[in-house]
Amino acid sequence: MIRWTLLPALLAAAAAQAWDPGFEPVSGSAFLSEETRQMQEDEFANPGMETVEYGRQLFHRPDEEGHSCADCHGAEGVRLDKRRIATFPRYSEEQERPVTLQEQINICWEERMDNFPYVYDCRELVGLETYVRYLARGEEIQVQTDGPMEPFFREGERLYHQRFGQLDMACYHCHDQHRGAWLRGQILNQGQSNGFPVYRLSTSRVTSLHRRFSECLASFRAEPFLPGSDEYINLEIYVTARGNGLKIETPAIRE
């Protein structure tokens, strides 16, 4: 066990890149049926657009003081830098730590607009995150992995290779070692984050990235971490950087 958990650290020390040589990121959408992929791309058919619309309303809705996100970022978010949205989670000099897009939205809401903070992954934050990412659809993901981001990225990498739960599995097993294989009825994709939050056909609801992490952990009988925990934020950094170069596809559709 101990040797196994050290192995990725040793590999990481030896290699400049944190993933297998020749690794090419592929979006989860590549594994969808033709029909579902078309539904994802057609804004009139994509059921995730309901959440985009909900987020759009929140974005423009004045709070008790009469302020809205649109005051600073423009109607329809015209003054938002779409390239910058594709770099989250990113290091914040002000917070002295990496912040996820949801946290950034919450920081605006709490510190700049002076409201009570939202709970991580609550309906409002997932709605706002879905809307803002949707505005940046098509932008290439570029998460920093060096400089001040490096320790957090490395910690995410360690968690990604750490075995958890009674079935004693790591993210790495399904999304690297055996990707492309069938796990009973499901094909194992790369576990990329570029489509999140995603609309799930099986549950008819939008699922955040941290919730997806919890579902994977629960599937091998591990105790999930909390949404917004340091563990999930570090995992989000690693998982998202592993998809650097992929385009944002929010809201993607999944089974």
Could you give the residue numbers annotated as active site? 216
Distance CA 12, CA 30 (A): 28
* Nearer residue to other proteins within complex by CB, 66 or 185: 185
Angle at 4 between CA 176 and CA 219, to 5 degrees: 50
Asked if 107 and 120 count as a contact pair (C-beta separation under 8 A), the reply is no
> Which tokens sit at 122?
């609550």
In whole angstroms, give the CA distance from residue 110 to residue 35.
41
Q: How far is the CB of 175 from ligand HEC (least distance, A)?
A: 6
Tokens (6 digits) for 44: 């009139």
28 binds, among other proteins, ligand HEC, none (CB under 5 to 8 A by kind): ligand HEC
Q: Is 17 in the site for ligand HEC (CB under 6 A)?
A: no
56 or 154, CB closer to other proteins?
Answer: 154
Nearest position to ligand HEC, beta carbon? 28
Which listed option, other proteins, ligand HEC, none, makes contact with residue 144 (CB within 5 to 8 Å by class)? none
SS3 for 127-180, per residue?
HHHHHHHHHCCCCECCCCCCHHHHHHHHHHHHHHHCCECCCCECHHHHHHHCCC
Relative orientation angle of helices 230-241 and 150-161, to the nearest 10 degrees: 90
Cβ 140 to other proteins shortest distance, Å: 29
Give the shortest CB-253-to-ligand HEC separation in angstroms: 9
For ligand HEC, the closer CB: 104 or 189: 189
Spell out the residues 6+ positions from residue 67 whose beta carbon is closer than 8 angstroms to its own.
113
Residues 167-196 that bind ligand HEC (CB under 6 A): 169, 171, 173-175, 183, 186, 188-189, 191-193, 195
Residues that bind ligand HEC (CB under 6 A): 28, 31, 169, 171, 173-175, 183, 186, 188-189, 191-193, 195, 198, 212-213, 216-217, 219-220, 235, 239, 254-255
